[in-house]
Amino acid sequence: MTTAGSEFGSGLREIMPLAAGVVIYGLAFGVLAAQATMGGLETGAMGTFVFAGAAQIVSVERLVAGAGAFAALVAGVALNLRLILVTASIRHFFIGRPWWQIMLVAHFSTDENWAMTMAARKAGRDVGYWHLVGGGTGLFFAWVGSTIIGVLFASAIPEPRALGIDFAFTAAFILIARTLWQGRRDLAPWGTSVAVVGIALWSDWLDPSWALILGGVSGAVIAGVFGDD
Amino acid sequence: MTDVWFLIFGLAVGTFAARLGGILIGQRLPQGGGWARALNALPGTLIIALVAGQLMQGGPDEWIAGALAAATAFATRSLVLTMIVGIAAVYLLRLI
């Protein structure tokens, strides 16, 4: 048996390499938030209460691109729906815990600390709730801190578009797509997604934000109906 | 309420609902099968849809810069390098 404190500490230590990667995304998000004329307070509030990197990046990028706030929100929430699967897979950690501990770890559950704790358990270590919370705490401060630092520095850049910074997020999304690609089984869903966006935009049927939501959902439906486990 | 605060509030509620939902109704969720596959595929299909849309709205400058950024992403898997190559390429191409 490990005590809660030592389990928390080892989770916090072991997340550090992943938290360093999160800082890079956080600084990049800050640059984007500045383009949406967000300040330190708004950026800090978003990081604190949302705490989901990719969804924050996508939805704020949509705002900057001139989408309505509602379309930006739907895109962000859609990107986070699979967190249901993340917390469902670790729900046995929470049985019998007080409600505030359940709320805390629910908010702190991300792909990074989930993967860390799962890997530790696979290696035979008796870790669970507090290991996950320790990792989540490290990620939380890395994310909120780096996004605020990013937005404060980026607000000083005078003309982002003239410097090509508007393209930085297309480049970032290309890299994120690379990390999400899981091999050939993604080919049909991703192909469907691109084709639907292409048709929707080319025919002027939907504005870009709704086109991307329709494309993403269409691709996911193809994965659900025709994929195999 | 401004767009930004609307987005912060909406994302906070939607994201927390997804996280808490997994804990509360996790037992009744299928762990495999079509629904799980679709939910797992959704981030990737949304991101690639976003990239496709952005590139379609751009011109040849953005297409070339996008191809260079994609090559960098595949070769290095580095966010910083991919962003630097993308920004530098589009900056230089727009100068020409």
Query: Does residue A175 fall inside a structural domain?
Result: no
Contacts A179 to B, Cβ<8 Å: 77
The per-residue pLDDT for A160 is: 63
The per-residue pLDDT for A204 is: 85
Q: What ipTM is given for this predicted complex?
A: 0.90
The per-residue pLDDT for A71 is: 95
Query: Does residue A168 fall inside a structural domain?
Result: no
Find the residue in B nearest to A221 (Cα): B38
3-class secondary-structure state, position B32: coil
Are A100 and A207 within one domain? no
Are A120 and A79 within one domain? yes
Pick among A60, A74, A175, A228 to test the B interface (most B CBs inside 10 A): A175
Are A50 and A149 within one domain? yes
Query: Does residue A36 fall inside a structural domain?
Result: yes
Query: Does residue A128 fall inside a structural domain?
Result: yes
Are A71 and A127 within one domain? yes
Listing DSSP states for A161-221 in one string gives GGGTGGGHHHHHHHHHHHHH--SGGGHHHHHHHHHHHHHHHHTT-S-HHHHHHHHHHHHHH
Are A159 and A186 within one domain? no
Query: Does residue A171 fall inside a structural domain?
Result: no
| Interchain contact A103–B (C-beta under 8 A) | yes
Are A82 and A185 within one domain? no
| Interchain contact A181–B (C-beta under 8 A) | yes
Are A153 and A206 within one domain? no
Which residues form the domain of A190?
181-226
The per-residue pLDDT for A161 is: 64
Tell me the nearest-neighbour CA distance from B88 into chain A, angstroms. 7
Domain C-terminal end among A130, A163, A196: A163
Query: Does residue A122 fall inside a structural domain?
Result: yes
Are A36 and A133 within one domain? yes
Residue of B16, B31, B51 lying closest to A177 (CB–CB): B51
Q: Tens-digit pLDDT profile for chain A (229 aa)?
A: 568 899 999 999 999 999 998 999 999 999 999 999 999 999 999 999 999 999 999 999 999 988 899 999 999 999 999 899 889 888 888 888 999 999 999 999 999 999 999 999 989 998 889 999 999 999 999 999 999 999 999 887 766 666 777 788 899 999 999 989 989 999 999 999 999 999 999 998 888 899 999 999 999 999 999 987 6
The per-residue pLDDT for A51 is: 97
| Count of the separate structural domains present in chain A | 2
Cα separation of B64 and A35, whole Å? Answer: 24
Residues in CB range of B42: below 8 A, 6 or more apart: A78, A79, A81, A82, A216, A217, A219, A220
For A:201-220, CB contacts with B below 8 A are 201-202, 208, 211-213, 215-220
Are A36 and A124 within one domain? yes
The per-residue pLDDT for A165 is: 77
Are A192 and A139 within one domain? no
Are A152 and A48 within one domain? yes
